[in-house]
Chain A
């Protein structure tokens, strides 16, 4: 069964500092990987995704993530944090469907990012 582990339920950085949010997954087959962001009292918005091809993927708002198969990781980074980045971030994994699997998204428990002025 697939699972997603996000290290750190709460991460705090200073404005202008590097943002690093960690995500590790377990999957028996190469998965599809996603990062979503949730601002207070809102739904989830897709930040970026990895399906095939280049392992470094760029998303909205200056975020990027790198798929590392050997480490089963998909960490989210941003070189310089902005106050508007304060939100909760969710990593999610999906298998590729077929063989009885429906390819549903499995989410991690989330990491709340705080940005200090």
Chain B
């Protein structure tokens, strides 16, 4: 099993550019989420999904869009990148959103210049 796969691992964007961070899992997990990690801030929830076709906002959703057309995939879109979005992004999935524990991807390190 591959677990949670994130692509790309590294990306440099110019301010105003758009891009999509990809996340795929092969564990048939219903719950998927996106976090950003910044130094001294821990992980903050951006968006999450409890199943195909169902998404909702987390703590820091501004500037990001998501959709969930299949159980396996949960892409994160940056519509117009800003330097404040420079961060490490983690995708996670879980069988149950509450008590099962998440499986994390290896992260995407994004720099916006």
Contacts and interface: CB of A to CB of B under 8 A. Distances in A.
- Residue among B92, B101, B106 facing the most chain A CB atoms (10 A cut-off): B101
Interface string A65-106: 000000000000000000000000010001111000011111
User: Majority SS of interface residues in chain A?
Assistant: loop
Interface stretch (B38-46, B63-71, B76-84): B38-46
B56 A102 contact: yes
Interface of A: 9, 32, 34, 36, 41-46, 49, 51, 90, 94-97, 102-110
Given A49-B99, A97-B97, 11 more contacts: A42-B107, A46-B101, A46-B103, A94-B97, A96-B98, A97-B98, A103-B97, A104-B33, A104-B58, A108-B42, A110-B42
Please name the 5 residue pairs, one residue from A and one from B, whose CB atoms are nearest each other, closest first: A103-B98, A43-B104, A109-B42, A107-B43, A107-B42
